[in-house]
Amino acid sequence: KQFTKCKLSDELKDMNGHGGITLAEWICIIFHMSGYDTETVVSNNGNREYGLFQINNKIWCRDNENLQSRNICDISCDKFLDDDLTDDKMCAKKILDKEGIDYWLAHKPLCSEKLEQWQCEKW
């Protein structure tokens, strides 16, 4: 599913402030990682990254490509490609708690300042 900034802001509002990260930061990260598209799969150094949050199959989820995954989120990676963001958010929060926001490489260079553009206007 292709989200818009405002629709995604609505879906992710419960993540605002989790681990000290604002909703605008999440929206910015997701834009740069997956373009707000839940069906994004990227192959990267022999691993695959899935969905809005680009969660990888080496550590966080399991797929047919990597049965040795640590699968910390205890989930099949393809669950991150559907329209239900509940499991995506759960796993992203777990990643944030364990790895910190720099797990998402877009954060530091692109999403740590000038965040006004990532806010949805209707608030």
Residues of the chain with pLDDT > 90, as a percent, come to 93
CATH number of the structural domain 5-118: 1.10.530.10
pTM: 0.94
User: pLDDT tens digit string along 51-60?
Assistant: 999 999 999 9
Give the CA dihedral 48, 98, 27, 30, nearest 10 degrees. Answer: -10
Q: Is 63 annotated as a binding residue?
A: no
* Amino acid type, 57: N
**pLDDT by residue (tens digit) across 59-113?**
999 999 888 999 999 999 999 999 999 999 999 999 999 999 999 999 999 999 9
82 is known to lie in a ligand binding site: yes
Q: How far is CA 22 from CA 7, 14, 15, 49, 113, in A?
A: 16, 10, 8, 23, 11
Is 87 annotated in some ligand binding site?
Answer: yes
Domain boundaries, the chain: 5-118
